Amino acid sequence: AITESESGSAACFAPEFVLGLVEVNTPPVYTLFDLEHEYARNLELAVRAARSLGLRLYPLGTYPLPLEPAVREGLDYRIQVSTVGPERFVDAGRCAGTHLHLELQAGTVDAGVGISAAASGAAREEVLNIYNLATALDPALVVLTRSCPYFEGRATGLAVRTVHYRGNAFFGWQGVYTDLPQVGALLPYADDAEHLIKQQFDRYEAWLAAMDRAGVERRYFAEAGGDVLRPAWNPVRLNRKGTLELRGMDSNYPDVTLAACAMVLGAADRVRRDGLEVVPDEGVNCFELTGDVLRVPDFGRLGGELLYAAVTGGVNDETMATYLDSLLDLAGEDERLAGIRDHRNTTGVYPTTEAGILEDYYSGSGFLSDDEGLRLVLGACGELEDQVFRLGHSQHQEGEPADVT
């Protein structure tokens, strides 16, 4: 009732596949200022609606204590549970992420094939470069948005949500998509638009084959509205809404989420504005700009050394720090990014929510008691509410949008 009466529509909220999660959305916007405004408004509505029901919202990527999520009824959910396996899929209900959509030229995305045959050459070039940029950004988003270090009451020293949601058989990370990397892992860079289209069909066929192995009839997938783009839970994916969707970030405090968005939008704007070609290169370890060519680490290094550094050592890994330095140089100036740079210059490392929690809650054993876990949860709920209030207040004080270029 609160959301309907005050926003005019409940479209900014949606149920997730488990009862304990709620999706908070924002409408399409043109600037980071507008994103902050819509995000602050919808978060405030969500916090107030929860309070009216005697609830509070916990904002981080994993719940720190043991949790048995209750899955909603729905054909699509049943297909996923049966195909992935309930013992693996349950971890998806213990993880929460933040997704950022980058608009592509109208008519570029076709849910039947991935990239529309009618898309212009310029549109195909844009989607290729933005897709490859988003792929190269993945380790940065993993490391900068590391949130809760605890999972089921235990700290492992890893990026918890990434491990338990994405998984990785090579590194021994047991997650939802460990055995189905085609549908859940970061996919390689695309050589051209045709290669990107092929990736969509290869993933689609991999999902149908997984359904076959699990004894799930393919007709159910069609009945649930399945298409070529549907079986995609990768960190970077084409979305039928006509966007490129980045899904690798932990759910987090608003300040962290908006800083990560500023970084992504700054880099994407640079690629578009300057007409940069994004080129994977075996000879580089970070983002290197020469003329109109942006060289990024090749996929072997990106999905190997850099991803491993992001998930293990995190901001304390010097390889990762150098990679982040180069990315922030690319993204340009922004007030939120300036705060990240200042922290790096002052302390020698980039800030994360995870680091702050470990300062207050880490024990030598790595285990979290129920009492400490509940204290962590309530503290995170309070910090979310405080940041939502501050963000909303600052929005009311702003007369004109800030320059985000």
β strands within 107-223, DSSP E: 109-110, 114-115, 150-151, 154-155
- Any residues with CB less than 8 A from the CB of 162 and at least 6 apart, and which? 142, 173, 175, 248, 250, 310, 311
CB under 8 Å, gap of 24 or more: what pairs does 378-387 form?
378/56, 380/58, 380/59, 380/60, 380/148, 381/56, 381/57, 381/58, 381/59, 383/59, 383/253, 384/43, 384/47, 384/57, 384/58, 384/59, 384/253, 384/254, 385/47, 385/56, 387/253, 387/254, 387/255
Strand-pairing partners, residue 367, are: 154
The pLDDT value recorded for residue 396 is 64
- Under 8 Å between Cβ of 190 and 199: yes
pLDDT > 80? residue 131: yes
pLDDT band at 8 (very low <50, low <70, confident <90, very high): very low
Report pLDDT digits (tens) over 37-78.
Answer: 999 999 999 999 999 999 999 999 999 999 999 988 899 999
How far is it, in rounded angstroms, from Cα 101 to Cα 68? Answer: 30
Of 4 and 176, the one with more pLDDT: 176
- Under 8 Å between Cβ of 40 and 1: no
- Under 8 Å between Cβ of 287 and 146: no
Biggest CA–CA distance in the chain, Å, is 59
Considering the entire predicted model, what is its pTM? 0.94
How far is it, in rounded angstroms, from Cα 153 to Cα 236? Answer: 29
The secondary structure of residue 314, as a DSSP letter, is G
The rounded Cα 251 to chain-centroid distance in angstroms is 8
Of 155 and 17, the one with more pLDDT: 155
First to last CA, the chain: 38
pLDDT band at 9 (very low <50, low <70, confident <90, very high): very low
- Under 8 Å between Cβ of 55 and 385: no
**What is each CA distance from 252 to 39, 332, 372, in whole angstroms?**
13, 23, 20
Question: What is the mean predicted confidence (pLDDT) over 175-186?
Answer: 98
The secondary structure of residue 306, as a DSSP letter, is I
pLDDT band at 12 (very low <50, low <70, confident <90, very high): confident
The pLDDT value recorded for residue 403 is 42
Question: What is the mean predicted confidence (pLDDT) over 129-153?
Answer: 98
- Any residues with CB less than 8 A from the CB of 80 and at least 6 apart, and which? 17, 89
CATH class of the structural domain 60-368: alpha beta
Length of the chain as a residue count: 405
pLDDT > 70? residue 332: yes
How far is it, in rounded angstroms, from Cα 258 to Cα 244? Answer: 18
CB under 8 Å, gap of 24 or more: what pairs does 224-230 form?
224/75, 224/76, 224/79, 225/76, 227/111, 227/112, 228/111, 228/112, 228/113, 228/114, 228/200, 228/201, 228/204, 229/109, 229/111, 229/114, 229/200
Question: What is the mean predicted confidence (pLDDT) over 158-180?
Answer: 98
How is the chain split into domains, by residue range? 60-368
**Average confidence score pLDDT of the chain:** 94
The rounded Cα 212 to chain-centroid distance in angstroms is 29
CB neighbour class for 240 (10 Å; exposed up to 12, middle 13-18, buried from 19) = middle
How far is it, in rounded angstroms, from Cα 283 to Cα 293? Answer: 14
> 92: phi > 0 → left, psi -120 to 50 → alpha, else beta; which?
alpha
**What is each CA distance from 302 to 196, 244, 287, in whole angstroms?**
18, 19, 11
Question: What is the mean predicted confidence (pLDDT) over 198-210?
Answer: 98
